[in-house]
A and B are shown apart, each in its own frame.
Chain A
Amino acid sequence: MTEKLPPIYNFPPLYTCQPNVLIREQQLSTWCDLILDFAKTNNAWCMSQEGTVIKDSESSGQSIFRNESIQRSISVPFRDQIWNKMVQSEKAIKSNNGVFFILWRSVDYWSSQILQWFETTGKVNQVVTVYELLEGDETLGWEFHGMHPSLCEESLQKLRDRGRATLLKEQNKIMGVKVV
């Protein structure tokens, strides 16, 4: 899973927290790019704090913070620093249960993609369920297919704020959406 990452991933000093502030900043942003790259190539929407990809609410695969080929891994405090940086630079959203949504595209991008889907498929003014939007056959081939429902909710909220969508709730859970 980590094979496709750029060669910097195999650079041993990257795994120790650098004392110099400037260098550390550089190091943190390199890690952010690595995580984004990693999430994008693996089509991962969520990652655990340990750095593993979460699919269907179970984490699988190896952690990005552990590099077996050079026998290095990142310490817990530095790992948290990286996550802080990710959240600060709006590359990730931290959800309640310690899971991070990786935004290899911004939420705005996703919401406009969803809107585009609604418009090109003529689903405007129709009720569409979130499941249909993310798992249905009609969104196959769209980038947001398979997106995590929570992240989708986030994007739909944006559309609602723009006055383009209404969210239909069922048992206090957003289940459907109607785009105008």
Chain B
Amino acid sequence: MGQKGSKIEVTKTDKAILQIKLSKDELHRYTRRTEILIGREREKLKALLREDPKNGKKNPRARILLKKIHYQNHLLEQAADQLINLENLVSTVEFKLVEQQFMMGLKQGNEVLTKLNKEFSGAEDLMDSVADQIAYQDEVDQILSSSVVGGFEEELDRELQQLDQEVNGPAHEPAKAEPNLPSTEGLPALSEPEAEEPQQEPQSDGRQREAVLT
């Protein structure tokens, strides 16, 4: 029992609310009882008037009954007012509890926020340093890209062309243009291709040497 009871905490406010509610219940019970009483007395009065329609109005008992009913009605109104007061009190207390929770939440949120903000104290230096690093990176990038753009590209083009010639044969391009050319029949053999080859060789040799050097 103790174990299960301790699971749910019963605070002082809970007990206070219970007290308020108990008195509220008492008032509720009272109003109910009075309502029943008034109803009964009204019935009695009606019966009295019905019994003696002529003298009923002058009957002192009828007057007393009516007075009683009025008095009870008055009490009932008072009780209803008090009931509303108590209900208001209960809801105010309950609202205050919610507000308390709200305050606690706010407090905790604030604490966490300040703690997090503390961690951001070096943020400006960090941002400056990051900006510096980015600027340096840009510089390095520019240097690297400009150095690549030098004669290296041309060399690449040349090597590509050479490879193309090796793979597809030196007659690759001329073969395409052949149909437009005049017939070579009957002409003496050309010594041009032979002369061209020695011209190219030193170039490739030079490049090989370059490659070795690098």
Interface residues of A (CB under 8 A from B): 126-129, 131-132, 135-136, 160-161, 163, 165-166, 168, 170, 175-176, 178, 180
Contacts and interface: CB of A to CB of B under 8 A. Distances in A.
A132 B25 CA distance: 7
27 contacts: A127-B14, A127-B17, A127-B18, A127-B21, A128-B21, A129-B25, A131-B29, A132-B21, A135-B25, A160-B5, A163-B4, A163-B7, A163-B8, A166-B8, A166-B10, A168-B10, A168-B14, A168-B15, A168-B18, A170-B18, A170-B22, A175-B18, A176-B21, A176-B22, A178-B10, A178-B14, A180-B8
B165 to A, nearest CB: 87
Interface in B1-41: 4-5, 7-8, 10, 14-15, 17-18, 21-22, 24-25, 28-29
Nearest to A135: B28
A132 B26 CA distance: 10
A163 to B, nearest CB: 6
Interface of B: 4-5, 7-8, 10, 14-15, 17-18, 21-22, 24-25, 28-29, 94
A165 B9 CA distance: 10
Given A163-B4, A166-B5, A129 B21 contact: yes
A126 to B, nearest CB: 7
Ranked nearest first, the 3 interchain pairs of A and B with the lowest CB-CB distance are A131-B25, A166-B8, A176-B18
B8 A165 contact: yes
B18 A136 contact: no
Given A135-B28, A178-B10, A129 B18 contact: yes
Output the residue of B5, B14, B18, B94 with the most chain A CB within 10 A.
B18
B38 to A, nearest CB: 18
A94 B193 CA distance: 125
Contacts of A168: 10, 14-15, 18
Contacts of B17: 126-127
Nearest to B19: A170
Contacts of B29: 131, 135
Given A129-B21, A178-B10, 5 more contacts: A129-B22, A135-B25, A175-B22, A176-B21, A180-B8
A131 B10 contact: no
